[in-house]
Amino acid sequence: MGADWEWTDRKVGLSHQGRSGVMLDDGTEPGPAIFDTGSGSFMHRSHRWHDYDGKYGNPRAAALRGACSCGWRGETRYPLTWSTDGGEDWVEDAPTSDCNRDWKAHLEQVEAASAVVPDKLDRRVAKLVRQLDELSIEEPLTVLKVVERLERQLEEVRRATAHQVLSEQKRQGEGRSWEEIAAALALPIDQAESRLLHYQSGR
């Protein structure tokens, strides 16, 4: 998981990591909270909401909202109520679960807009995974051999398919737009081309 991103979902991977995003009183999203660790020029940076407590020159968070590494931000703002006890500032019942719920709703929208996997194919894949999982108890080395073979064959399919999509995209009027490609792959648009080039290269 990337630094400061709290949540991941294996369906969409690292392209859609989530966290409780910070908002200030004026409705803006601040840059990272910065802390001098005393180790030369290195300054620790954090986007975790509880580091925005108004200390060490950092702003105090006024509210939270769902945030995703793809750039999405939740529409609902959840105010924070800060208390001070013994010189320590803290928030009781921070609305992080609300932010997580909104982020998950965003993932559902991303998934709904992505390419549809036919039920028949989905069932076949699930059945194969289940069979390999069951076989791994008695024949773990056999399973490893099968998985390695599958990885090689799937890599070939992925490389050829990525090449086809990129070739079509370059031919004006024939290929899908980058917006369509990104949505189908459940990727932010700024990652779509680099991901396909990565697939095509086989790296």
Per-residue pLDDT of 58-92, as tens digits, reads 899 999 999 999 999 999 999 999 888 777 788 88
Average pLDDT, the chain: 91
Per-residue pLDDT of 28-67, as tens digits, reads 999 998 886 665 565 678 899 989 988 888 899 999 999 9
Confidence category of residue 172, pLDDT binned at 50, 70, 90: low
Q: Which residues contact 40 (CB under 8 A, 6 or more apart)?
A: none
The answer to whether the CB of 74 falls within 8 A of the CB of 106 is yes
Q: What number is the average pLDDT over the span 142-152?
A: 97
> In the chain, what are the domain boundaries?
13-113, 119-201
Beta strand 82-85 with 78-79: parallel, antiparallel or unpaired?
A: unpaired
Nearest Cα to 106, choosing from 135, 75, 78? Answer: 75
Q: Which residues contact 132 (CB under 8 A, 6 or more apart)?
A: 143, 146, 147
The percent of residues above 90 in pLDDT, for the chain, comes to 72
Q: What is the pTM of this model?
A: 0.82
Position 92 scores a pLDDT of 85
Position 1 scores a pLDDT of 44
